[in-house]
Structure 1
Amino acid sequence: MTNSYLNFPDIDPVMVSIGPLFGYGPLNIHWYGVMYAVAFGIAYWLASRAAAKPGSGWTKEQVSDLLFFGFIGVIVGGRLGYVFFYNFDQLLAEPLYLFKTWQGGMSFHGGLLGVLLAMAWFAKRYQKSYLELGDFVAPLIPLGLAAGRLGNFINGELWGRTTDVPWAMVFPHAGAEPRHPSQLYHVALEGVLLFVIIMLVRRLNPATGTLGGVFLLGYGVFRFIVEFFRQPDSQLGVLSAGMTMGQWLCLPMMAAGLGLIIYVNSKPAAAARGAK
């Protein structure tokens, strides 16, 4: 290991502290919570712009309902996914652990499943094609993911594996060895680059369902790559075939994305083109 590394920015996880209030201590507003708000703000802005286009078939009410139920899907699915995928032994030992959200623990893949279920309910209620809905939602997610990962970085959590690359950092509570700032790799790949790719594909007027497939495949590939640099979860470590839980969960995601792209662009399925 080299002694040359970057200093982790000394950012207080608490953005603003107000109070004490009514004798109960201060109200702390954390950067991580603010990043969640930013994520949904970005999604609402992008969705509203898309809905405002002539002939979009979307109303403001539908956009609000979609994001509300999507938010519920993220929170409920994210928590269930973390507990069942990453901490199932803890759940068996302490069933109430499922509800101890203040202890932290959210899973992207669980949140994705929650969103997919919310989309199915929304599509049925508003009589919308599920594939068209997927194309509408796909561009809304990556920049929100980037905001969330930036919140992880500010909190100094989900750090990377030890390394001697010049941009390595020593994270609080992670020992004295420099590590990959893997949170920023998430931001760059799953956030910014994936958003750019989706928007470029959308300009090609692809077959309906293509953008949803691109999101699934793109996120799966980028997350799979970043997992090589991210420290595995301490309670799980590296699993069979030398892969982490995150990588194993990405495999069906990549397969589904690739399969969807191939299916909707086959001759029978690509008759109606023009993702919205």
Structure 2
Amino acid sequence: MDALAPGILFAQAIGRLGNWFNGELFGRPTDLPWALYVPVGLRPTSYATVQTFHPTFLYELIWCSAIAIALILWGKKLAAGQVFSAYVGLYSIGRLFIETIRIDQANTIAGLRVNVWISAIVATLALVNYLRLGRSSAKI
């Protein structure tokens, strides 16, 4: 699984380009220099007068690529299984933040998107596993 992690991340990054081509999965309105112009027909009705939005798919593309590069550069120094745990944990942390700026419809629990909760839980479990694998490897 460790060897697959960077490839999976690059595949996820490339897949996010589809969101750009489809004009979907953008975030809250913004006037930042890298804001994404969204044509009127693709904007949610409640944002019809807003022209530019956070390009959340781009944030995820960059995040996935950065994690993949980091795992390629430093993964050989990790114990077996830690690379995949790092992938799952770091990806989940990125999703946690990206989900907070998305505006598409989503189910919520206690006022937060379900994906935020899932990302937090998965990131925590991945961290626990990462640390467990590191300790197991140190004892050998």
TM-score by length of 2: 0.84
Give unpaired runs (5+ residues) of structure 2.
none
- Cα deviation 1:101-131 (Å, max 9, x = unaligned): xxxxxxxxxxxxxxxxxxxxxxxxxxxxxxx
**Matches of 1:142 and 1:208 in 2, distance apart?**
18
Q: Contact (CA 8 Å) 1:194, 1:215: kept in 2 or not?
A: yes
**SS of residue paired to 1:234:** coil
Query: How many Å apart are 1:144 and its aligned residue?
Result: 0.4
Question: What does residue 185 of structure 1 align with?
Answer: 59
Which residue in the other structure is 1:199 paired with? Answer: 72
The answer on whether the counterparts of 1:208 and 1:272 sit within 8 Å (CA) in structure 2 is no
Q: Does the alignment pair 1:148 with 2:15?
A: yes
2:24 matched to 1:157?
A: yes
For each residue in 1:110-161, what CA deviation from the matched residue of structure 2 results, as whole angstroms up to 9, or x when unmatched?
xxxxxxxxxxxxxxxxxxxxxxxx2122122111001110111111011111
Q: Deviations over 1:188-213 (max 9, x none)?
A: 11x21110121122132x11111011
Q: CA RMSD in A?
A: 1.9
Task: Confirm or deny that 1:167 pairs with 2:34.
Answer: yes
Counterpart code for 2:49: A
Q: Which of 114, 121, 125 is equivalent to 1:252?
A: 121
CA deviations over 1:26-72 (Å, ceiling 9, x no partner): xxxxxxxxxxxxxxxxxxxxxxxxxxxxxxxxxxxxxxxxxxxxxxx
Q: Are 2:7 and 1:136 aligned?
A: no
Secondary structure of the equivalent of 1:136? coil
- State whether residues 13 and 60 of structure 2, in contact with CA within 8 Å, keep that contact through their aligned partners in structure 1: yes
8 Å contact kept, 2:106–2:114:
no
What SS does the corresponding residue of 1:201 show, helix, strand or coil?
Answer: helix
TM-aligned CA distance change 1:256 to 1:148, over 3 Å: same
In 2, Cα distance between equivalents of 1:235 and 1:216: 22
For 1:179, the aligned partner's letter is F
Structure 1, unpaired ranges of 5+: 1-133
Instruction: Report which of the two structures shows the higher radius of gyration computed on alpha carbons.
Output: 1
Aligned residues of 1:213 and 1:257 also touching (Cα < 8 A): yes
- Native 8 Å contact 2:6 2:68 kept in 1: yes
1:215 aligns with 2:87: yes
Instruction: Spell out, residue by residue over 1:7-29, the C-alpha distance to the aligned partner (whole angstroms, 9 max, x if none).
Output: xxxxxxxxxxxxxxxxxxxxxxx
Instruction: Give the paired residue count.
Output: 133
Q: How does 1:227-238 map to 2 (within 5 A)?
A: 227-231=99-103, 233-234=104-105, 236=107
- The aligned amino acid for 1:218 is L
Matched-pair contact (CA < 8 Å) for 2:88–2:126:
yes
Match of 1:262 among 115, 120, 131: 131
Larger RCO: Structure 1 or Structure 2 (Cα < 8 Å, ≥ 6 residues apart)? Answer: 2
Contact 1:216 1:257 survives alignment (8 Å): yes
**Measured at CA, do residues 180 and 162 of structure 1 come closer, stay the same or move farther in structure 2, by a change above 3 Å?**
same
TM-fit CA distance, 1:234: 1.8
